[in-house]
A = this chain, B = another copy of it.
Amino acid sequence: MNGVERNDPEGAIAAAAKRCSNRGRWGPDDVLGTLNHLDAAKRVAGAALVRRGVSFSLAQSFDANGPQKGWRRRTNPVHTMLDTGVEAERGTQGFPHGLGGADDVVFMPLQASTQWDGLGHIFDHGTAYNGRRAGDVVTSEGDQVTGIETTAGLIAGRGVLLDVGRVCGTGGELPDGFAITVEHLEATIAAHGDTARVGRGDLVLVRTGRLSRARREGWGDYAGGDSPGLSFTTAEWLHGTDIAGIATDTWGVEVRPNEFDVAFQPLHQVAIPHIGLFLGEMWDLDALAADCAADGVHDFWLCAAPLPVTGAVGAPVAPIAVK
């Protein structure tokens, strides 16, 4: 970005927000934001991309071995059992005729692992998506307006993988602090060819290679630390392409450190409350990316319905891509 903006993050954010705003675009009552772009025709087109029937899980693990280290009191998921097979085998569970059972519970921050940010996750100067007052939207009882359950049934469409790590990186990986610009995105699309074209209603997956590195070297500061990611300057591309959502293999979509001297996730501040864009974080794109590299086909049928916890401002998701 230019030097003027770099020294005025608040001004730069405000300017980008103004240029990219979808507030009011789908009426004052809208709760879906860019999911409005993902219509039935797009779903028909997405399903038509299933040719070989091979499917890929894009979810990271949900367990105690995850990257969370306590930022914002986020822990890794804690999974405990209410009954076990050990007890079933011992025969002391009290069921008749040899029946045995196991049951379990989980405690987890909703953004502990692979997830979608809901539209109530981020605010700009006390306002939420569509210009609502933040305090009218997300209270202690959750998101009263744009809770993740409002997306139920919707997030299924054409997915496009942009493997920026493979195209622009070294050994398939971008280094921390690498800001992915529109130029990088366009170069990746060009390198991938026609199947990687991005248009209205698409669900775009950007692979940086950050997860590949964490898998190899250990989590380190994967959750909240330095990372490659989208440049703040991509805001207008995110808006102008009319995509329905974008997800990455990083903790926070954006490049870290952020591109302003003092800032915290400035692209979020534009993308969520102004564009109404759905951001996916901590997706595992490696197996899918290897397949796309092998067959040269970068689009596919993507189903990624978040767990519809009522009022959630973000939610875990187990995405499936089918080619």
Also in contact, A86 and B309, with CB within 8 A (given A52-B44, A101-B121)? no
Tell me if A59 counts as interface (CB < 8 A to partner B): yes
Q: Are A142 and B309 in touch, CB under 8 angstroms?
A: no
Give the nearest-CB partner of A311 in chain B.
B79
Among A203-211, A241-249, A257-265, which stretch is in contact with chain B? Answer: A257-265
How far apart sit A108 and B80, CA to CA, in the bound complex (Å)?
11
How far apart sit A127 and B133, CA to CA, in the bound complex (Å)?
22
Give the nearest-CB partner of A87 in chain B.
B86
Q: Are B90 and A312 in touch, CB under 8 angstroms?
A: no
How many copies of this chain sit in the oligomeric assembly? 4
Main secondary structure of the interface of A (DSSP, over half): mixed
Q: Are A85 and B140 in touch, CB under 8 angstroms?
A: no
Q: Are A316 and B307 in touch, CB under 8 angstroms?
A: yes
Also in contact, A50 and B55, with CB within 8 A (given A72-B82, A124-B98, A318-B306)? no
Categorize the interface residue count of chain A: 35 or more
Q: Are B63 and A309 in touch, CB under 8 angstroms?
A: yes
Q: Are B62 and A310 in touch, CB under 8 angstroms?
A: yes
Q: Are B99 and A268 in touch, CB under 8 angstroms?
A: yes
- The 25 listed contacts between A and B (C-beta, < 8 Å) are A9-B96, A9-B97, A10-B96, A43-B50, A55-B154, A57-B305, A61-B310, A62-B307, A65-B310, A81-B139, A81-B140, A82-B140, A84-B87, A84-B140, A86-B138, A98-B126, A99-B268, A103-B313, A104-B110, A104-B111, A104-B309, A104-B312, A107-B107, A153-B320, A305-B320
Q: Are A54 and B80 in touch, CB under 8 angstroms?
A: no
